[in-house]
């Protein structure tokens, strides 16, 4: 597989090698050793989630209190989503910035987000199925959100905003500035999120 660091430190795009024949296809979509070598720390798997979304559903931006936070390994096993990594870590050099990766059933890419990063995705197809491997169980009292339509963040959506579907909770989420003023954003720690020396190189 190939692993490259995204524009937000602590986040990575993973592209697996696919082996196809007349029977179908095989791919290793997750390898703990390859990820650990690139990221510099292992994913301590504690829970696995799945969501099904119709076209236009926008989930996020979600993040958890740090520590312990919740690292995520996300892929789309059916359909397509545009996945967003948003830096909501106070003090980070890329605070407020974001990067995106197309996750679909063609290239079968995945995204890894370290603890403290914000996550969102927009479903580009009906019945888009997304799976998440996460480093901690769901703890509602430690979960927070920032409004994905906050113009200060400025996520670039490939569909009209009037066609976007948000949950009531995500729709009522504070802006980035409001979340900062409320003191709910995680702090950035350089040693915690520092990648391994060779992390920016593609790995086979």
CA distance 43 to 35: 8
Which pLDDT belongs to residue 15? 96
194 part of a folded domain: no
177 part of a folded domain: yes
* CATH code (residue 109): 2.60.120.10
- Please give the residue that has the higher pLDDT: either 192 or 75: 75
Which of 112, 132, 144, 193 is labelled catalytic? Answer: 132
Q: pLDDT tens, 90-137?
A: 999 999 999 999 999 999 999 999 999 999 999 999 999 999 999 999
Rounded to two decimals, the pTM is 0.90
138 included as an active-site residue:
no
Q: What's the sign of the alpha-carbon dihedral 201, 72, 131, 96?
A: negative
200 part of a folded domain: no
Q: What's the sign of the alpha-carbon dihedral 199, 132, 110, 80?
A: negative
CA distance 4 to 22: 31
Tokens for 103?
Answer: 């996750």
Which pLDDT belongs to residue 189? 78
Which pLDDT belongs to residue 42? 84
**Confidence class for position 11, pLDDT limits 50, 70, 90:** very high
Residue 14 and residue 3 in contact, taking contact as beta carbons nearer than 8 Å: yes
Q: How far is residue 64 from each of residues 1, 72, 159, 163, measured CA to CA in Å? A: 28, 11, 28, 28
Which pLDDT belongs to residue 198? 41
CA distance 53 to 132: 14
93 part of a folded domain: yes
127 part of a folded domain: yes
Exposed/middle/buried for 106, CB within 10 Å: 0-12, 13-18, 19+?
exposed
Q: pLDDT tens, 31-62?
A: 999 999 998 888 999 999 999 999 999 999 99
Q: Is the pLDDT of residue 195 over 70?
A: no
- Average pLDDT for the chain: 92
**Confidence class for position 204, pLDDT limits 50, 70, 90:** very low
Q: Percentage of the chain surpassing pLDDT 70?
A: 93
Which pLDDT belongs to residue 130? 98
Residue among 52, 73, 84 at smallest CA distance from 149 = 84
Which of 62, 119, 144, 193 is labelled catalytic? Answer: 62
82 part of a folded domain: yes
**Confidence class for position 190, pLDDT limits 50, 70, 90:** very low
199 part of a folded domain: no
Q: What's the sign of the alpha-carbon dihedral 20, 21, 22, 23?
A: negative
* Domain extent at residue 95: 2-187
193 included as an active-site residue:
no
92 part of a folded domain: yes
CA distance 75 to 14: 9
Which pLDDT belongs to residue 201? 40
Q: How many helices (H) and strands (E) does the chain have?
A: 4, 13
Residue 88 and residue 186 in contact, taking contact as beta carbons nearer than 8 Å: yes
Q: Number of structural domains, the chain?
A: 1
Q: Is the pLDDT of residue 63 over 70?
A: yes
């Amino acid at each position: 597989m190939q692993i490259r660091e995204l524009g937000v430190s602590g986040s990575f795009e993973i592209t697996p090698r696919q082996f196809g024949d007349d029977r179908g296809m095989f791919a290793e979509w997750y390898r703990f050793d390859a990820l650990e070598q690139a990221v510099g720390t292992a994913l301590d798997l504690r829970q696995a989630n799945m969501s099904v979304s119709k076209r236009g559903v926008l989930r996020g931006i979600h993040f958890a209190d740090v520590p312990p936070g919740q690292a995520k390994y996300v892929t789309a096993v059916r359909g397509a989503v545009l996945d967003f990594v948003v830096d909501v870590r106070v003090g980070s050099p890329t605070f407020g910035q974001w990067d995106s990766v197309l996750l679909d059933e063609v290239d079968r890419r995945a995204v890894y987000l370290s603890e403290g990063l914000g996550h969102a995705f927009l479903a580009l197809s009906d019945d888009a199925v997304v799976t998440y491997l996460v480093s901690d169980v769901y703890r509602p009292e430690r979960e927070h959100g920032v409004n994905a339509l906050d113009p200060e963040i400025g996520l670039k959506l490939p569909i009209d905003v009037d066609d976007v579907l948000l949950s009531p909770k995500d729709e009522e989420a504070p802006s980035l500035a409001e979340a900062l003023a409320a003191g709910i954003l995680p702090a950035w720690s350089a040693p915690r999120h520092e990648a391994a020396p060779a992390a920016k190189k593609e790995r086979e």
